[in-house]
Amino acid sequence: MESGTVASGVGAGRSGPQRPAGESARATAAASGVTGLLRVPVPVNEPVRSYAPGSPEREELKSRLAEMAESEADIPIVIGGEEIRTGDTGQVVMPHDHQHVLARFHRAGADEARAAIEAARAAWSEWSAWDWQERAAVFLRAADLLAGPWRATVNAATMLGQSKTAHQAEIDSACELVDFWRFNARFAAEIYENQPSSSPGMWNQTDYRPLEGFVLAINPFNFTSIAGNLPTAPALMGNVVIWKPATVSLLSSYYVMRVLQEAGLPAGVINFVPGPSRVVTGPLFESPALAGIHFTGSTGVFQTLWKNVSDNLENYRTYPRVVGETGGKDFIVAHESADPAALAVAIARGGFEYQGQKCSAVSRVYVPDTLWDDVRERVLAIMEDIEVGDPTDFRIFMGAVIDEEAYDKITSYIEYARESDDLEILSGGGASDVEGWFIQPTLILSKDPRSRLMCEEIFGPVVTLHVYDADRWTETLERVDDTSPYGLTGAVFARDRAAVREALSRLRNAAGNFYVNDKPTGAVVGQQPFGGARASGTNDKAGSRLNLLRWVSPRSIKETFAPPTDWRYPFMKEK
């Protein structure tokens, strides 16, 4: 990988239509000539802006929201840098005002999927051979464009299209995606730096090759940052990508694609192919060039994708890397030494922010009977103050859930609770889909620690809580561990250190992201690499070196400087 030589400054200062990787490289091959073991700038987490009254960012965001709400975007397919409009269109609406059409998008079909394979293959030979610093420069430039001139646009698209508040959009579509791009460049450099030792007379090297083929990236609706990271993490490592975005969150995904184009990403490196998922992905699974899947979404869909890969296994040129971060049934378990005020805030923020539609959202809670009255009073008081509505009204804490299907699924769990003798709705339970898909924050008491609502992922603003006998702490930890099939996030609240230690130990495999006296949401890139095992995924930790390692296929090179010229070994000689 020794690439201290920078061949060009390709694309880093250019916007406009994408050029092929080859053309870009040729156009600027002689331009730079910079020689040195270059270091990626040390990343720091992008500061979260407050959007407080009177702040400049608030004014800018509000005016972008107004402009975007008044217009209807036209979202094309982007293949090989070309915008394609099939004329077979669908709509993107506001979840909190579902008659309001934000955008029309052009659906790709099997033909476009096959064209994307060709475009990706055409880009592969040049892009996979680019110096890694050149690739990193594209994504570092994208990070600065997003942090600066594109910030209000991508945040506004996330607020309107995914029903996020200004704060939830800011921490997702601005800060987390900027962090992914900046930190991943640094993590890539750390991977490349990792070289083997060499005995005298030789030089051993590791060549971190991109995968031979294309990577299929498929994102969920709930995080713009995840949508942006899934195609770009493999691309940073020299891979070409076909990105099948989620339909409901297409508006913000499209603007992320625009940022990448403006950052100088060569044509064909990431191909943006919205459309019906089975139709679009069918030809991709059948292609011998499928080299990897980078997925985030539900457990069931991930299992389908893995089966699709195994059904075609003998056709592939190389075994595809299958990386997926999936569902969760995230918990808080409180010890009797927990601080009730901190616990109540963690339940409310962790359970209801972004309408509980975070894979890490608190969904099941275990509270000792000795604390219950106090905690109950505090949580219910917070819930009374939470307002649900249009997130462009900045006083609102919760917007709408993403679509009708989500609304129906979540409300069916609430109905089930209403009819069950084991479950009692303590607060919330109301819902209306007249204007937007609104569901009140809902707290449900479960007598049975293994009721359906304590086990299944609901993915909405519903927290189910079980009150346990404070003397049964150890038994409760065992229950937390074996109640659900997932292993994504979890938290323990305790002031007693022995209780913290016991929870850390007994719940070691219950969560890939574990929190002590904090809510189990809000992982920050570079600080708490994110992902879980069991039914929650392959735990390849988005935004870390571990994830980037999945997108390279190392080649070991041994060069001997003065190879032997006599075939006989010394031991074969006569005395």
CB 523, min distance to ligand NAD, A: 9
> Closest distance between ligand NAD and the C-beta of residue 496, in Å?
31
∠ CA 192-196-200, nearest 5°, is 140
Q: Contacts by 110-114 with C-beta closer than 8 Å and gap 24+?
A: 110/279, 110/280, 110/282, 110/283, 112/77, 112/79, 112/84, 112/86, 112/273, 112/275, 112/280, 113/242, 113/273, 113/275, 113/279, 113/280, 113/281, 113/282, 113/283, 113/284, 114/283
CB of 406 to ligand NAD, least distance (A): 7
325 is catalytic: yes
The one catalytic residue in 134, 170, 262, 359 is 359
Q: Which tokens hold the place of 512?
A: 């890939």
Taking the complex as a whole, how short is the minimal distance between the CB of residue 275 and ligand NAD, in angstroms? 9
Tell me if residue 175 is catalytic: no
Please spell the DSSP secondary structure of 510-565, one letter per residue.
T-SEEEESS-S----TTTS-B--EETTB----BSSHHHHHTTEEEEEEEEESS---
Provide the minimum distance between the beta carbon of 360 and ligand NAD in the complex, in angstroms, as a whole number.
Answer: 7
Shorter beta-carbon distance to ligand NAD: residue 28 or 277: 277
> In Å, what is the CA distance from 45 to each residue of 61, 125, 525, 526?
21, 33, 8, 8
**From 170, 176, 325, 457, the catalytic residue:** 325
* Chain position carrying tokens 């987390």: 176
Residue 278 or residue 418: which is nearer to ligand NAD going by CB?
278
Nearer to ligand NAD, 246 or 309 (CB): 246
Say how many CA atoms lie within 13 Å of 334 toward its Cβ.
Answer: 32
What totals of helices (H) and strands (E) does the chain contain, helices first?
18, 25
Task: Considering the complex, state which of residue 180 and residue 223 has its C-beta at the smaller distance from ligand NAD.
Answer: 223
- How many whole angstroms separate alpha carbon 136 and alpha carbon 114? 28
Output 165 or 536, the one with its CB closest to ligand NAD: 536
* Cβ at position 220, least distance to ligand NAD in Å: 3
Nearer residue to ligand NAD within complex by CB, 213 or 537: 537
CA distance from start to end of the chain:
46
Tally the C-alpha atoms within 13 A of residue 208's C-alpha that lie toward its C-beta.
26
CA torsion angle 425 431 437 439 (round to 10): -30
SS3 state at 50: coil
Residues that bind ligand NAD (CB under 6 A): 218-223, 226, 246, 277-278, 281, 296-298, 301, 304-305, 325-328, 359, 457, 459, 488, 530-531, 536-537
Nearest approach, Cβ of 542 to ligand NAD (angstroms)? 6
Shorter beta-carbon distance to ligand NAD: residue 305 or 499: 305
- Show which residues are catalytic: 325, 359
